[in-house]
Amino acid sequence: MKIVVSQQTTVDNIECIRYLRCTEICPVNARTGSTLKLCGVWDRPDGKRKAVPKVAYLSIVLGAFFLPILIAVVGGNFITERPSVYTTVEDIKGSSPLQDIFDNFPVSRDEFYRGFGLPDSIPPATLLKDVGPLMGIPKEEEIIAPTVVREAIHRIDQTIEQLAQAGVVKPEEVLTLASKAGLTPSSPARQLWSKGEPGTIAYILSGLWPKDFQGPGGISTPSATPTASPTPSIKGTTTLSELKELFPDRFTAVLSQFGIPADEPLTSTLKDLGAQYGFEVTAVRDFLGLSTSTPTSSGAITPNTTVTLPISIKGTTTLGEIQTLLGDRYAGFLAQFGISSDELATAALKDLKDTYGFEITAVQSSVQGLLSPWINSCLF
C-alpha cells in the first residue's frame, strides 16, 4: 500500500487493508512499551479526535440490534410463528387443530364428531394427528388421517351416491347405511354425517369403524389380558410395496387375481388400482382371508356370513369362469339376471351388464349367495 507507518502516529489511510504485517515486524520500545497496534473507537492515541466511551459504544451496538425488534413488536409486525392459512382442503394437516377445521370449512363440530365417531371428551383444540391415538386407533390405521378428512370434507355437499363411489367399501353397502338412516342415494352426504351411525363417514372412506378400537366412552382403555397379534390392515391407501411386505408369499397371486400387471409401480395404492382395474379393496381383503372369521368372546373362531370367493368378480370375469365356479348352480345364476344360455362362455360381464341391466357388484353378491350353502356345509 506504500504507507510509511514509521512516520505516523495513527494510520487511518483508507488504503490500509489491515494486513497487520507492520505490527508484526515493528520492534517494541522496552522503555515506553509503545508500538503499532489496532485501536478501537474508544482509543485515540493521537488525541486529535474524541474517543467514543466504551459504555456508549456498547449501547449503540445493543440498540442497533434490539431497536428494530422493538419497533416491529410495537407495530404488530413481529411474528415468531405464522398462523395456519386454510384456503382449500389440502391445507388440512396432521398439525391442524380440530377447531381450525370447524372454523374454516363447512362442517360443524357436531357433524364432524358424529361422522368420525369421536367421543365428546376429545376437546376441539386437539391436533388432528392426536385424535386417533386418543381413541385407541393405531397410527398405521388411517381412519381419521388428514387424507381421509380432506376427502370427507371435499364431498360433504355432494350426494350420498357420489360419496359411495369415492369410498373404499362397496357402494351398495354405503347405500344400505344411508337407508338405515332414512336417506336416499340422492340425499346430501352432509345428512349422513349427522343422521348416520357414529363413525359412518370414517368407515366409508377408510373401510374401518372407529368404534372397533375404542373402549367404554370412546376412549382407549388398557386391556387386562394379552391381546393377539394385530391382523394386517388392508385399506385404500395401502401401496403394492406394503402389500408385498405383508404378504410376500401371496403377492404374485394377488396381482394375478385382480389383473394387476407385474410392472405396476410399487407406490401405486389399492384405491387407484381398483378404479383402474375394476375391483374393490374389500375384495382384496376377502381374497387374503382378512374378513372370513371373527373371534367370539370365548376365543373361538366362527365363519362370517360373507363368503370369500376363489376368484374376484369384476368386469373382465367371463361367463365360463362363473360357470366353473358355480357348477350346477350356473343355470340359476343365468335366470336371476335374465342372461341367455346362448351367450358365449368367453363373454365378459362388462360387455353383458348394459344389455341385461345388472351391476358387477350385484353379480358378486349373487355368486356369494349361491355358494354360501355349499361352503358352510364344508365348514361344519
Which whole number is the average pLDDT over 335-356?
A: 87
Phi then psi dihedrals of residue 273, to 5 deg: -70, -35
Chain mean pLDDT for the chain: 78
Q: What is the pLDDT of residue 158?
A: 94
* CA 324 to chain centroid: 41
Which whole number is the average pLDDT over 350-360?
A: 83
Domain residue ranges in the chain: 5-74, 90-218, 240-291, 319-379
Q: Are 239 and 269 in contact (CB under 8 A)?
A: yes
Which whole number is the average pLDDT over 262-267?
A: 90
Q: Which of 69-83, 136-150, 255-269 has the lowest mean pLDDT?
A: 69-83
Q: What is the pTM of this model?
A: 0.44
DSSP line for 45-107: TT-SSPPPPHHHHHHHHHHHHHHHHHHHHHTT---SSPPP--SSGGG--TT-BHHHHHHHSS-
pLDDT band at 308 (very low <50, low <70, confident <90, very high): low
Q: What is the pLDDT of residue 379?
A: 39
Q: What is the pLDDT of residue 154?
A: 94
Whole-angstrom distance, CA of residue 167 vs CA of residue 205: 5
